[in-house]
């Protein structure tokens, strides 16, 4: 009687190393129900085939996950254990993304944090020089001199102090100035006067009155950026001819701010200096009428006092 071909047992096909004998015994067992019960050898071969198939499949999966390195060779050739294979799969599994990655979600680098901290340290405070102060490269009396700031210069000072020096902004960088030479309030009115000789020499003082010499020495000490000074000269108005006037020479327009600081200083000490009048940039100031008033055009930079501050004292 014809009987349809039976599909081979998948377990038998799972392991290529299963002996052919086991396949024949299994076929006879299924095709002949009147055969006696399977022998012990039949069971051993069947179970061995199942175990080998499972081991082979597990080793193959482990090799795919772990890769082609030494671990892969161990997984394929050694006696495999299922638990370590599962652990390898768990370690190698990529992290699950829960949403789109954005810039806000990135961890801030340590460098960025250090920059923020450094920026916080450089907090700036507006301050003014109370006298002429030197700007140095380092916080030392012997450090290289960068520049000299006149009285009343506004600077941006940091909170960094070393000894008697304070770090301030200067040009495109930083410099160190004496802490005692800075104040948070405009110092023009509070600045003092001096009778100390001017480092430029005493030639200008020839034939000047006592109060005029006082003005020269004080301005010389507080405003070292002044180009030069003019004093007594013959002819002209009686102020210079009588030694009662001083010309404080500046660069026209470029040093206008410096000229106004000098004029403000002279006004603040008008009584001490016994000032009669001050002229600068075609404007005049007098104690009797303490406001700047415009003067008539005299035809030149010098005649209109754009290149110097002119100050005269009372007789």
CA-based torsion, 116, 117, 118, 119: positive or negative: positive
Cα gap 275→267, rounded to integer Å? 8
Per-residue pLDDT of 191-235, as tens digits, reads 889 999 999 999 999 999 999 999 999 999 999 999 999 999 998
300 half-sphere exposure, CB direction, 13 A CA radius: 3
Distance of alpha carbon 134 from its chain centroid, rounded?
Answer: 26
Burial (0-12, 13-18, 19+ Cβ within 10 Å), 33: exposed
Cα gap 68→50, rounded to integer Å? 26
Q: Name the residue among 122, 132, 131 with its Cα closest to residue 225.
A: 132
66 in helix, strand or coil?
Answer: helix
Q: Supply the pLDDT for residue 21.
A: 46
Q: Say whether pLDDT at 25 is over 80.
A: no
Model pTM score: 0.58
For residues 174-193, average pLDDT: 89
Neighbour count for residue 115 (Cβ, 10 Å): 11
| Percent of the residues in the chain that have a pLDDT greater than 70, as a whole number | 61
Cα gap 220→198, rounded to integer Å? 6
Per-residue pLDDT of 75-87, as tens digits, reads 444 444 444 444 4
What are the start and end residues of each CATH 2.30.30.40 domain in the chain? 121-183
For residues 87-97, average pLDDT: 47
Distance of alpha carbon 14 from its chain centroid, rounded?
Answer: 68
- Superfamily covering domain 121-183: SH3 Domains (2.30.30.40)
Q: Supply the pLDDT for residue 54.
A: 43
- Token pair for residue 276? 């009669």
Cα gap 16→52, rounded to integer Å? 9
Per-residue pLDDT of 247-301, as tens digits, reads 999 999 999 999 999 999 999 999 999 999 999 999 999 999 999 999 999 999 9
Residue for token pair 């000229």: 259
């Amino acid at each position: 009687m014809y009987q349809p071909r039976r599909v081979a047992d998948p377990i038998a096909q799972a392991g290529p190393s299963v002996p052919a004998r086991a396949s024949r015994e299994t076929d006879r067992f299924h095709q002949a129900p009147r055969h006696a019960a399977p022998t012990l050898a039949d069971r051993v071969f069947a179970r061995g085939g199942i175990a080998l198939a499972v081991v082979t499949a597990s080793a193959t999966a482990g090799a795919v996950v772990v890769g082609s390195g030494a671990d892969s060779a161990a997984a394929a050739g050694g006696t495999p254990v299922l638990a370590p294979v599962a652990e390898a799969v768990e370690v190698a599994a990529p992290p699950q993304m829960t949403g789109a990655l954005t810039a806000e979600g990135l961890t801030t680098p340590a460098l960025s944090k250090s920059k923020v901290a450094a920026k916080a340290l450089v907090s700036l405070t507006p301050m003014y020089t109370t006298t002429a102060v030197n700007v140095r490269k380092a916080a030392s009396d012997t450090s290289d001199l960068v520049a000299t700031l006149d009285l009343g210069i506004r600077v941006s000072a940091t909170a960094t102090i070393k000894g008697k020096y304070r770090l301030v902004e200067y040009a495109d960088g930083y410099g160190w100035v004496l802490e005692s030479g800075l104040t948070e309030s405009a110092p023009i009115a509070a600045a003092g006067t001096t009778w100390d000789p001017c480092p430029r020499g005493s030639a200008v003082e020839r034939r000047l009155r006592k109060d005029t010499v006082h003005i020269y020495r004080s301005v010389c000490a507080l405003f070292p950026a002044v180009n030069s000074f003019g004093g007594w000269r013959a002819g002209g108005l009686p102020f210079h001819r009588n030694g009662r006037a001083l010309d404080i020479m500046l660069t026209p327009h470029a040093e206008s701010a410096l000229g106004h600081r000098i004029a403000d200083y002279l006004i603040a000490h008008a009584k001490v200096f016994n000032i009669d009048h001050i002229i600068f940039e075609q404007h005049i100031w007098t104690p009797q009428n303490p406001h700047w008033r415009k003067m008539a055009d005299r035809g030149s930079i010098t005649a209109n006092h754009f290149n110097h501050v002119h100050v005269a004292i009372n007789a």
